Chain A
Amino acid sequence: MTLQDLDIPRLRGLDLVPTSSDKQTARDYSSDQEVRWCPGCGDYAVLKAVQSFLPDLGLRRENIVFVSGIGCSSRFPYYLDTYGMHSIHGRAPSIATGIATAREDLSVWVVTGDGDALSIGGNHLVHALRRNVNMTILLFNNRIYGLTKGQYSPTSEAGKVTKSTPVGSIDHPFNPVSLALGAEATFVARTIDSDRKHLTSVLSAAAAHRGTALVEIYQNCPIFNDGAFDAVKDGDTKADAIVPLVHGEPIAFGTGGSKGLVRDSLTGGVKVALVAEVGIENVLVHDAHNSDPTMAFAISRLTDGGVLRQAPIGIFRQVERPTYDDQARAQVAATRAATAPDQTPEAQLAALLGGGDTWTVG
């Protein structure tokens, strides 16, 4: 059976999830558990944004599932009054894959961190992304190990001095967006914990996406890596640090939009230029819907692996591709329809057991 034979409807992210006509508020999504992150942790901001945003989806609360791994951010499901599982280190995407494949009527979310998703669970992350299972992954990137008290993470800058690297880390860090694009993820975005408006708009787009949506959230750890994202947060620096990605808009930034992205013929990638020198007509217009991830990848490289000074923020890529779970269900449905659809399961089972070469005694 080929993909073309399967009757896979074109769906949006939550099309098969039952909706609720009840008026919902953030309070409906808050569980009775006391939140236990450190004072000032960026996780609070994301939790608040998610609790405030979920009512807007208009779904039945019982049809939402949050799955997490291990780490500070992975406490998240306990604080939401939905179905949830706080699982084991790095494995949330695989558990969510089982949930999403078993049930079409659930809105499935994964909450993970840079250690959980990119170190111990790196394998599951890239495979979820390439399969395009219908789930939204919130990757809280604080560029440090928090729960184990301050070792460097796979996104920590090279040279970082931590408890386990007293003379500096010699690990080259991952760029999560580049990694996701390399795995041909169909939705890849980056946002910032403290920018509730942007965070919420990205979450909305991610929820509406059918397939695996990866949202990297720059999240400050005030205890072990305070100020890691100051460049994109401080009023004085953020205009020059944030490269805003808006589909259909020229990628211009800096005070008064003085800088823009242009193609770099030397590297085949993109570079920052002064708009006054190159002309606004030569500034790249962001195309998140480009089926070829090459340009999105080039843009993702603008975030260097060292101390953060500049970062593209927004939706890098948003394309349609059949999801793993929709296809798996379609194969089951098509096979059912083609094989004795009128028979009871018991009769089908009896036919199965009695198949092959048989003989009768007595």
Chain B
Amino acid sequence: MTYVIAQPCVDVRDRACVDECPVDCIYQGERMLYIQPDECVDCGACEPVCPAEAIFYADDVPDEWTDYIAINAEVFDGLGQPGGAGNHGPLGADHPRIQALETEGAGA
């Protein structure tokens, strides 16, 4: 199991969770933050501090956002476990499906 960041983070990226994470497993994409699922230790420190209420325990992700479980994992394909966001720095990219999301205010 792991914690997962979902849609409310997109284009918010508050980063309160990054400060809170004891194992530094929350990585910064261009439009949202991602939790490395293998590095996450399930401690739950991030979830209550998110102002956007974007973080959920995997079992509790609302139905409309369950695809974010895969999105958080897949963004690390090819990267593996970088061993800490501080050392690694920003990802410089997003999951393709996040990238493809329309920006707020751009109209549907």
When the two chains form their complex, are residues B83 and A196 in contact, meaning their CB atoms are under 8 A apart?
Answer: yes
| A 40-59 binary contact with B (CB < 8 Å = 1; else 0) | 11101101110000000000
**Within the assembled complex, what's the spacing in Å between the Cα atoms of A220 and B41?**
14
Which of A40, A47, A49, A194 has the most chain B CB atoms inside 10 A of its CB?
A40
* Residues on the A chain within 8 Å of B47, using CB: 39
When the two chains form their complex, are residues B42 and A48 in contact, meaning their CB atoms are under 8 A apart?
Answer: yes
* Residues on the B chain within 8 Å of A235, using CB: 86-87
**Within the assembled complex, what's the spacing in Å between the Cα atoms of A253 and B104?**
48
**Within the assembled complex, what's the spacing in Å between the Cα atoms of A47 and B44?**
14
* Residues on the B chain within 8 Å of A220, using CB: 22
Closest chain-A Cβ to B25's Cβ sits at a distance in Å of 9
When the two chains form their complex, are residues A194 and B83 in contact, meaning their CB atoms are under 8 A apart?
Answer: no
Closest chain-A Cβ to B68's Cβ sits at a distance in Å of 20
Kindly state whether residue A222 has any CB partner on chain B within 8 Å.
Answer: yes
Q: Which residue of A lies closest to B43 (CB)?
A: A44
What is the total number of residues of chain A having a CB less than 8 Å from a CB of chain B?
18
When the two chains form their complex, are residues A44 and B41 in contact, meaning their CB atoms are under 8 A apart?
Answer: yes
Tell me what chain B mostly uses at the interface: helix, strand, loop, or mixed.
loop
**Within the assembled complex, what's the spacing in Å between the Cα atoms of A40 and B21?**
7
**Within the assembled complex, what's the spacing in Å between the Cα atoms of A69 and B41?**
23
Given A196-B83, A197-B83, A235-B86, decide whether A37 and B43 contact each other with a Cβ distance below 8 A.
Answer: yes
* Residues on the A chain within 8 Å of B20, using CB: 40
Kindly state whether residue B74 has any CB partner on chain A within 8 Å.
Answer: no
Q: Which residue of A lies closest to B87 (CB)?
A: A235
**Within the assembled complex, what's the spacing in Å between the Cα atoms of A138 and B26?**
27
**Within the assembled complex, what's the spacing in Å between the Cα atoms of A194 and B47?**
18
**Within the assembled complex, what's the spacing in Å between the Cα atoms of A193 and B43?**
12
Chain B interface extent, by class: 10 to 19
* Residues on the B chain within 8 Å of A44, using CB: 22, 41-44
Kindly state whether residue B24 has any CB partner on chain A within 8 Å.
Answer: yes
When the two chains form their complex, are residues B41 and A48 in contact, meaning their CB atoms are under 8 A apart?
Answer: yes
When the two chains form their complex, are residues A196 and B39 in contact, meaning their CB atoms are under 8 A apart?
Answer: yes
When the two chains form their complex, are residues A40 and B42 in contact, meaning their CB atoms are under 8 A apart?
Answer: no
When the two chains form their complex, are residues B86 and A42 in contact, meaning their CB atoms are under 8 A apart?
Answer: no
**Within the assembled complex, what's the spacing in Å between the Cα atoms of A42 and B42?**
11
When the two chains form their complex, are residues B45 and A45 in contact, meaning their CB atoms are under 8 A apart?
Answer: no
| B 10-41 binary contact with A (CB < 8 Å = 1; else 0) | 00000000001111100000000000000111
Kindly state whether residue A35 has any CB partner on chain B within 8 Å.
Answer: yes
Closest chain-A Cβ to B91's Cβ sits at a distance in Å of 17
Q: Which residue of B lies closest to A46 (CB)?
A: B41
Closest chain-B Cβ to A99's Cβ sits at a distance in Å of 28
* Residues on the A chain within 8 Å of B23, using CB: 45, 193-194, 196
Closest chain-B Cβ to A217's Cβ sits at a distance in Å of 13
When the two chains form their complex, are residues B83 and A45 in contact, meaning their CB atoms are under 8 A apart?
Answer: no
Q: Name the one of B24, B40, B42, B44 contacting A194, with C-beta atoms under 8 angstroms.
A: B24
When the two chains form their complex, are residues B45 and A40 in contact, meaning their CB atoms are under 8 A apart?
Answer: yes
Kindly state whether residue B48 has any CB partner on chain A within 8 Å.
Answer: yes
Residues of chain B having any CB pair with chain A under 8 Å: 20-24, 39-45, 47-48, 83, 86-87
Residues of chain A having any CB pair with chain B under 8 Å: 35, 37, 39-42, 44-45, 47-49, 193-194, 196-197, 220, 222, 235
**Which 10 interchain pairs have the tightest Cβ spacing?**
A40-B45, A44-B43, A39-B44, A44-B41, A48-B41, A39-B45, A45-B41, A235-B86, A194-B23, A45-B23
